[in-house]
Amino acid sequence: MRKLLLRSITAVGAAALLTLSTACSNEREGSSSSDSAGSKGFSKDSLIGVALPAKTSENWVLAGDLFTNGLKNAGFKADVQYAGASTTVADQQAQISSMVTKGAKVIVIGATDASQLTTQVKQAKDEGATVIAYDRLITNTPDIDYYIAFDNFKVGQLQGQALIDGMKAKKPKGPWTIELFSGSPDDNNSKVFFDGAMQVLKPLIDKGDIVVGSGQKDIKQTATQGWKAENAQQRMDSLLTSAYSGKKTLDGVLSPNDTLARAILTSVKGAGKPVPIVTGQDSEVESVKSIMAGVQYSTINKDTRKLVAETVNMIKSLQKGDKPTVNDTKSYNNGVKVVPAYLLPPVIVTKKNAAEAYANDPKLAPLTK
Amino acid sequence: MSRITDLQKNLFGGTTSNARQFGMISTLVAIVVLFQIWTDGLTLTSGNLIAVVSQYSYILILAVGMLMVIVAGHIDLSVGSVAAFTGIVVAKAMQEHSLPWPLGILLGLLVGAAIGAWQGFWVAYIGVPAFIVTLAGMMLFRGANQYIGNADTVPVPEGFRKIGAGFLPEVGPDTGYNNLTLLLGLAACAGVVWREWKARQTRREMKADLAPLWVIGVRLAVMVAVIVFATLRFAGGRVGTSLPISGIILIVLVLAYSHYTRNTIGGRHIYAVGGNARAAELSGVKLKRVNFAVMMNMSILAALAGMIFVARSAASGPQDGLSWELDAIAAVFIGGAAVSGGLGTVSGSIVGGLVMALLNNGLQLQGVGSDMVQIIKGLVLLLAVAFDVYNKKQGRFSIIGTLTRPFRRDDPADTAAPPAAASDVDKTKVAG
Amino acid sequence: MTDTAPNLLEMRSITKSFPGVTALAGVSLVVREGEIHAICGENGAGKSTLMKVLSGVHPHGSYTGDIVYQGKKARFDGIRASEQAGIVIIHQELALVPGMSITENLFLGNEPRRRGSIDWKSAQRRALELMEQVGLREDPDTLIKDIGVGKQQLVEIAKAFAKDVKLLILDEPTAALNEADSQHLLDLLRGFRERGITSIMISHKLNEIEAVADTITILRDGRSIESLDVKADGVNEDRIVRGMVGRELDSRFPDRTPDIGEVFFEVRDWTVRHPASDERMVCKGSTFNVRRGEIVGFAGLMGAGRTELAMSLFGRSYGTWLSGRVFKDGKEIRLKTVADAIGHGLAYVSEDRKSIGLNLLDDVKTSMVAAKLSKIARRRVIDPVREHRIAEDYRAGLRIKTPSVDEGVVKLSGGNQQKVVLAKWMFTDPDLLILDEPTRGIDVGAKFEIYGIIQRLVAQGKGVVVISSELPELIGLCDRIYTVFEGAITGEVARADADPEVLMKQMTATKKSPTP
């Protein structure tokens, strides 16, 4: 028994010494250069981290799969992570830290809350990683290198125009009654979509051709917390009860994306009202079906494939040490600096052009026939 | 078996309280070793350790308060909302009314104290169960957060960010390490040795058995080795990093609250109230005051945790604090507290919290998705407690049993616990 | 019953150990069909463990030895298995749901069903039958919390009948019952014997055992010492005591020469209202006093208001105080909180150790110092050395049997737990100690020691109030006895005049004081 004791003690001692010796390998050296991003390139099989928000829309799920495959095909090691559904911000913070720890050379971030990642982005930058904001611009930090997204202002404009076109087709003469919905207030894009749409709608509202039934025209009133369908549905329910009791009809609803559009439609149907013109975005399967069935009016095709492919291209040029292509170096100020951006053009899709727009999409093309 | 327990007792401190920690600490060590191997040594790198500490310090701070709440026989579901509410109030005050950040921290603590007083009042003086009061608080303060913040994200000034994302400054000669962290490590080693010596003196005064010197030597060697290792890791991160300031706040709180719960009259009273409220009352414990203090303290710590998170995120957002209460409660129960109150230790809860944190971190390093991480965490919580319950029933070795006190309410000698005993005090008294 | 009756149950050399202790060391028990078999022994002798082995709480395989039941070897792996065989155990602490009716409790877990839902009609009918069998006359819809402990006990027994009982085990059935209810229960047991139902009864009340049992098995220190045939062996209480403690007890009370001083504690016109009812008074203008060095007894039936009086004095821990004043050493004192009461040198040892006297999660030393932590603390920080030393002193002084003061109180026997509670209150250094049923559920040896402790306390000039349901105890111990009936003090009897008859008369209310 004593022997066993002695032996275990020596083992413990040895282990302690071992840990001590490894502890002496200090990590301070690797931190000399932090502005290396993009200038020297990195090895071809490096780790690329992709941090995406919670799986609340199909789009993010698709993007994740595309990133995993795209990066693998390009020879990189990919680490694609989604935030948890109820603990989004904290999860994403932890995930980005982990990617930094694992030595990711590029970190692509689809932010859940665009202004709460300052610390992690700085950490990434300090460790020499390049940070690309994907789809959502990360604010209040100097440590972000690129921004890649669809032209979201354009998205808003297209939505606004589609709403007007749709209502005109149904009821040639105004005034038309509409309701406005916008996205989550913690997503930088929400405001951009909304402003784009309002640029088109405002003149008509001012003229009195378009009336906002509830009078709620401010982005704070129209916001949908967390992009959650249930929140949009709740708001629509109460709008219908408060502003559309009796025979009053609703001609159109500006919805920033498909998930919310469907929630809004569910609410309207539940109230037994005729289906209004509802816009959308993201080309989700259910919404494309709905458009083909003549329920939802429009969506936006922001081909996630293209966006992911462009992002991977960007990473490839970073790997080689080249400057990646950008096409906008003026418009995206995140509060600290102007972030060089690469913008892709969005496409509006209605029942008319659906077959053409989704011709290359294996999942959506069959739905349009 | 008895030799092993003897050894365990000797190595982990002569007193039973230390021996209890054995099970949970070995689980923690096992998790660390497992992930260290699995992630090819990433788990114990400086960068990762620093990240883990700053990521989870606020949950651990909540766990400290939650332990006391649970020991007193209550629960607090509102901590996440209270944290979020405090965060937005402080952020707004600093941004819109340009309150200097030190005053911002003070304001946050005051807000926490006020909320705590509110909840404590209902629990202690009106007698509404804490579950209900804090469920109400959970909704109330979440709503208040959104009302004040308009569901916006409000950035906080640079100085304030220090408490969540700050590090010790680099001072003195270039040693290749963060010098202040080294000094802290040195102090910790000295503290450990001093405590050991002090404990030995106490035992001598009690005329209790003294552990042989070699045992103490080994024990000290292990502890000092761990501290030295941790110190070098935390001091040896990237230039400009060190032991995070939030980690220092956490350590100070853990030391203070461990001392309070273990060694002071107030601490004893919390255990007495949770163990048997009526008996405590008849022993002269001021029940209401204890309940009030425990609830209030929790809200103050929640406010602090909220501010640390906001500081780390550089902004207060509408998602802050979501499901924090669950993480804190899970940590406390994994750490061996009893659902019915009266049992549990601060250090146990911290170990429980670390188990969760390292599990989270290790799985993330491994690239496991957050959905799977949640599933695994849920199972770990369930299994840790179930394994313990099962073993206790069988009268065998129990992980959590060794961690907590060796006896519990439902001792085998007392299985026929009557529902009547749990019923109103009134009845027992009528039978006069 | 005759000697030729076959054996219903034989337990052969049962041995059961827990980590660190052997609870039973080769215990044997033979129970014949149709008899009342009493099991006696001091607390910790192994009675409860033996019954747990029998009822399958400790399942087959966790002990060694054989159980032969109805001629066959039985291997119970749980309570359900033993109940199916007709063995039903009724614990001292009743397993009833207070908020449910008698019927619901009777069929809990065993509800008569018809097409998937509970058939309340037939349940009602069966309930009445069962209640008839145990002589319980109540509306079966009455809630359990609305009937007294005695009737609750009967419900428990009726529940056993619902399960088709062959062997009924009663653990301390009369511990919480008053005289009349106890008598009823014992009669009931005799009735069962007539009907051929076998009973095993664990009890500390030796007079009851002597009156009702056919056979007595005595356990001591986890061994079966002897089995006595009550009629043939001419058993009496002293004989049982000798078996239990292994020696003769010369006297049930230690010798003492009273040295009684001045009146130092006085209560005048103490009136307290019931916490839940506006009209019911639990104390009606009670006036009494205690002298230094005096043991004062309070006699009364269950529910007479003795505990209520004590607890309402002790920091208003019961009911709503209406009027009354308290004087100590001639000065009026205010006792609004427990802390006040402790501060003024009062101590109250409750009748219910487990539910309100002790924190069962605590260890011995923490329990002992719990009522006056400030005595072992410096600037609110507890000094572990002092705590340990004090606990060791009490352990030695009160001869508390525990392996160490770090042991959990839960592991101690009832008598030793009671000593821990006494130590807890002695540590507050009180002038007046109120002891509520200080020897309930405690074995003979420990009782004797507790009497000794009480006498030592009064010898130091303290006053002691003893509340007890056992008249012999009061008469043997006290210098003066107050009788209580329905919240009012109905009499005061000096030691010399105290005999059970006199007391009983006053306790049952011949003289009523005017109600306010």
A201 vs C443, residue with greater confidence: A201
* pLDDT exceeds cutoff 50 at A118: yes
What are the chain B neighbours of C181 within 8 Å (beta carbons)?
Answer: none
**Cβ contacts of A67 on chain B, cutoff 8 Å:** none
Identify the structural domains of chain B with CATH numbers, from first to last.
Answer: 45-166+244-366 (1.10.3470)
Taking contacts as CB-CB distances below 8 angstroms, the residues of chain B near A95 are 364, 370
The predicted model gives B58-70 an average pLDDT of 96
> Is residue C383 included in any domain, yes or no?
no
- Asked if A36 reaches chain B (Cβ–Cβ under 8 Å), the answer is no
Residue C483 has pLDDT above 80, yes or no: yes
Q: Do C306 and B407 touch (CB under 8 A)?
A: no
A9: chain B residues, CB-CB within 8 Å? 218
pLDDT of res. A196? 94
Asked if B313 lies within 8 A of A114 by C-beta distance, the reply is: no
Beta-ladder partners of A254: A180
Residue A204 and residue C55: Cα distance in Å, rounded? 86
Q: Is B169 exposed, middle or buried (0-12, 13-18, 19+ CB in 10 A)?
A: exposed
CATH fold for domain A37-144+303-344: Rossmann fold (3.40.50)
Q: Which residues of B touch A50 (CB under 8 A)?
A: none
Query: Is B275 part of the contact surface with chain C (CB cutoff 8 Å)?
Result: yes
Quickly state the pLDDT bin for B97 (edges 50, 70, 90): very high
Closest C-alpha to A95, from A73, A75, A121, A71: A121
Chain B residue numbers touching C372 (CB-CB < 8 A) = 284
**Chain C residues with beta carbon closer than 8 angstroms to that of B269:** 373
Asked if B touches A (at least 3 Cβ pairs < 8 angstroms), the answer reads yes
Window B:136-165, CB contacts with C under 8 Å = none
- Over residues B348-370, the pLDDT tens digits come to 899 999 999 999 899 988 888 88
What mean pLDDT value characterizes chain A? 86
Number of H helices, E strands in chain A: 12, 12
**B47, B54, B371 member nearest A27 (Cβ):** B47
Percent residues over pLDDT 90 in chain C: 32
Around Cβ B235, how many Cβ atoms within 10 Å? 26
For B105-124, how does the pLDDT look when each residue is reduced to its tens digit (9 = 90+)? 999 999 999 999 999 999 99
- Chain C residue numbers with beta carbons less than 8 Å from the beta carbon of B416 are 91-93, 95
**Nearest-10 crossing angle of helices B158-165, A118-126:** 70
* Portion 413-432 of B in contact with C at CB < 8 A: 413-421, 423-432
Neighbouring chains to A with at least 3 Cβ pairs closer than 8 Å: B
> Between chains, do B314 and A89 touch, taking CB under 8 Å as contact?
no
pLDDT(C510) > 60: no
201-240 of B, contacting A, C-beta below 8 A: 218, 221-222, 225-226, 228-229, 232-233, 236-240
The answer to whether B155 contacts A89, with C-beta atoms less than 8 Å apart, is no
Q: How far is B151 from chain A (nearest CA, A)?
A: 6
Identify the CA nearest to C260 among candidates C425, C494, C484, C475.
C494
Of B265, B405, B418, the CB nearest to C377: B265
Chains with ≥3 Cβ pairs under 8 A against C?
B
At B124, the amino acid letter reads: A
- Contact of A338 with chain B, judged by CB distance below 8 Å, is answered with no
- Asked if B267 and B261 touch (Cβ cutoff 8 Å), the reply is yes
Give the model's pLDDT for residue A3: 54
**Start and end residues for every CATH 3.40.50.2300 domain found in chain A:** 37-144+303-344, 152-302
A242: Cβ contacts below 8 Å, ≥ 6 apart:
A214
Query: Cα separation of B320 and B308, whole Å?
Result: 11
User: Hey, is the C-beta of B5 within 8 angstroms of any chain C C-beta?
Assistant: no
Does the pLDDT at position B287 exceed 90?
Answer: yes
Partners of A12 on chain B (C-beta within 8 Å) are 218, 221-222
Instruction: Give one word for A149, left, alpha or beta, with left for phi > 0 and alpha for psi -120 to 50.
Output: beta
Does C516 or C253 have the greater pLDDT score? C253
**From the centroid of its chain, how far is CA B10?**
26
Contact B364 A5 (CB under 8 A): no
Percent above pLDDT 90 for chain A: 49
Looking at the predicted structure, is the pLDDT value of residue B245 above 90?
Answer: yes
Beta bridge partners of C11: C29, C67
Contact C361 B415 (CB under 8 A): no
Interface test with C, best of B20, B200, B207, B430 (most C CBs within 10 A): B430
Q: Do C302 and B272 touch (CB under 8 A)?
A: no
Is C330 in the same domain as C212?
A: no
Handedness of CA C175, C177, C182, C188 (dihedral sign): negative
B75-87 burial string, b = 16+ CB within 10 Å, else e? bbbbbbbbbbbbb
Q: What ipTM was reported for this prediction?
A: 0.78
Total structural domains in chain C? 2
Whether C192 maps to a domain, the answer reads no
pLDDT at C241 over 80: no
Residue-level pLDDT at A8? 52
Under the banding of pLDDT at 50, 70 and 90, the label for residue A22 is: low
The pLDDT tens digits for A181-198 are: 999 887 778 998 999 999
* Residue C469: CATH number of its domain: 3.40.50.300
pLDDT (average), residues C462-488: 89
What confidence tier does B422 reach under pLDDT thresholds 50, 70, 90?
Answer: very low
CA-based nearest residue to A118, from A334, A354, A368, A357: A334
Residues belonging to chain A: 369
Q: State how far the alpha carbon of C51 is from the alpha carbons of A332, B343, C80, in Å.
A: 81, 30, 14
> For the residues B162-185, what does the mean pLDDT come to?
90
Nearest chain C alpha carbon to B341: C361
Residue of B253, B61, B54 lying closest to B166 (CA atoms): B54
Residue B150, pLDDT > 60, answer yes
pLDDT band at B4 (very low <50, low <70, confident <90, very high): low
C340 and C449 share one domain: yes
Residue-wise pLDDT for C154-187, tens only, equals: 888 888 888 888 899 998 887 777 777 888 888 8
Mean pLDDT of A116-128: 90
What pLDDT, on a 0 to 100 scale, did the predictor assign at position B402? 41
pLDDT band at C505 (very low <50, low <70, confident <90, very high): confident
- Judged by CB atoms closer than 8 Å, whether chains meet at B218 and A9 is answered as yes
Residues facing residue C117 across a β-bridge: C114
pLDDT at B16: 41
CB proximity list for C439: less than 8 A, separation 6 or greater: C418, C446, C447, C450, C451, C468, C470, C473
Instruction: Average the pLDDT over B318-339 and give the result.
Output: 89
User: pLDDT tier at B409 (50, 70, 90 boundaries)?
Assistant: very low
For residue B312, the chain A residues in CB contact (below 8 A) are 93, 119
Question: From residue B404, how far is each of B16, B203, B398, B407 by CA, in Å?
Answer: 9, 21, 10, 8
Whether A219 and chain B come into contact, CB under 8 Å, resolves to: no
Q: What confidence score (pLDDT) does residue A282 get?
A: 86
| C225 falls within a domain | yes
pLDDT at C148 over 60: yes
When comparing pLDDT for C338 and B431, which is higher?
A: C338
Residues of chain B with pLDDT > 70: what percent?
84
Does residue C271 sit in the same domain as residue C235? no
Tens of pLDDT along C321-339? Answer: 999 999 999 999 999 999 9
* Cα–Cα dist B140/B137, whole Å: 5
Residues C332 and C458 in one domain: yes
| B384 to chain C, closest Cα gap in Å | 21
Which among A81, A83, A116 has the least Cβ separation from residue B315?
A116
Size of interface B-C (CB pairs under 8 A): 163
Q: Is A336 on the interface with B (CB under 8 A)?
A: no
Burial of C82 (0-12, 13-18, 19+ CB in 10 A): buried
Give the pair of three-digit tokens for residue C141: 């819809």
- Cβ-defined contact of A98 to B322 (cutoff 8 Å): no
Phi, psi angle pair for A246, to nearest 5°: 75, -140
The pLDDT of residue C437 is above 50 = yes
The string of pLDDT tens digits covering residues A86-102 is 777 888 999 999 999 98
A116, B313: Cβ pair inside 8 Å?
A: yes
Q: What is the pLDDT of residues B311-326, one digit of tens each?
A: 998 889 888 898 899 9
Which chains touch B (3+ CB pairs under 8 A)?
Answer: A, C
Contact (CB<8Å) B3/A1: yes
Q: Is B418 on the interface with A (CB under 8 A)?
A: no
Q: Pick from B265, B279, B416: which is nearest to C91 by CB?
A: B416
pLDDT (tens digit, 9 = 90+) per residue, A217-244?
Answer: 998 889 998 888 888 999 999 898 888 8
pLDDT category of residue C44 using cuts at 50, 70 and 90: low
Q: Which carries the bigger pLDDT value, residue A108 or residue B201?
A: A108
For tokens 């420990």, what's the residue?
A: C446
Looking at domain A152-302, its CATH class is alpha beta
Do C221 and C341 belong together in one domain? no
Task: Please indicate if any CB of chain C lies within 8 Å of the CB of B266.
Answer: yes
C244/C273 same-domain check: no
**Residue B96, burial from CB neighbour count under 10 angstroms (0-12, 13-18, 19+):** exposed
Residue B13 has pLDDT above 80, yes or no: no
Q: What is the mean pLDDT of residues B137-144?
A: 94
Least confident of A167-171, B273-277, B380-384, C268-272: B380-384
Cα–Cα distance, B366 to A222 (Å, whole number): 40
Closest partner residue to C381 (CB to CB) among B264, B343, B424 is B264
Domain of residue C9 covers 1-80+204-248
Looking at chain C, the whole-number percentage of residues with pLDDT higher than 70 is 95
Average pLDDT, whole number, for chain C?
86
pTM (2 d.p.) = 0.77
Q: Which residues 283-322 of chain B have a CB within 8 Å of chain C?
A: 283-286
Q: By CA distance, what is B414's nearest residue in C?
A: C410
- Using a CB-CB cut-off of 8 Å, the residues of chain B touching A84 are 370-371, 373-374
